[in-house]
Amino acid sequence: MHYDKPPPAPNTNCYTLIHKYLSPSHPLYGTYITHVTLVTQLALKITKGLKLPYKDYVFIKEAAMLHDIGIIYVHHPQILYMHGRYPYATHQYLGYLILLKEGLPKHAKVALRHGLGYYNYEGKLIRPRTEAEKIISYADLFYSKSTEKLWHLRTTNDVLHAIYNKWFPKNPTPYVKFFMQLHKKYGPFAFS
């Protein structure tokens, strides 16, 4: 009798890991799960469009669900119940430390590098490098974590507007350039 080879099992249960740090009874939980689920959905749409191998699909699914786990330790008054002790800008590094501690170095790097880029304490530019990191970062730009906009899919113009006026008002050009690089590659799959 012939059996098809089963697909590789995910190497982590995202929900078990998320619940270890953020209980479903925590008031921030709904925001976290909604945001990462929407980002994961968009990232996987791009992954499918690019016809990446199944192992990449599984990794992107896990890493997208975990990419913002560092927010549990930050303080950000604009987002409800985010009352940690560290500045919001450290959430990438805090997520990296959490996932590294959990034995997931590749997922940890997604948490560390997600976004359009920032300078670390050594003045080094940290930005997504791998395809998975770029896909998740791109998808993440289209969803906010603020309650009233949580489910709202930003348009490309919304993202550009945010880069110019909110995220990088002092020096938007390199970030716009990087966004447009990602948009050229992933946009057709994300919004087809």
133 vs 140 by CB, closer to Fe ion: 140
Q: Please say whether the beta carbons of 99 and 108 come within 8 A.
A: yes
Window 1 to 30, contacts with Fe ion (CB under 5 A): none
Q: How many CB atoms lie within 10 A of CB 99?
A: 25
Residue 62 makes contact with Fe ion by CB under 5 A: no
Q: Mind giving me the DSSP string for 93-126? A: HHHHHHHHHTT-HHHHHHHHH-SS-EE-TTS-EE
Q: What is the largest CA-CA distance in the chain?
A: 65
Taking CB under 5 A as the binding criterion, the range among 16-24, 61-69, 90-98, 120-128 that sits at the site for Fe ion is 61-69
Contact between 140 and Fe ion by CB under 5 A: the answer reads yes
**Minimum CB distance to Fe ion, residue 118 (Å):** 14
Of 63 and 104, nearer to Fe ion (C-beta) is 63
On whether the CB atoms of residues 133 and 114 are closer than 8 A, the answer is yes
**CB 6, min distance to Fe ion, A:** 31
Positions in the binding site for Fe ion (CB under 5 A): 68, 140
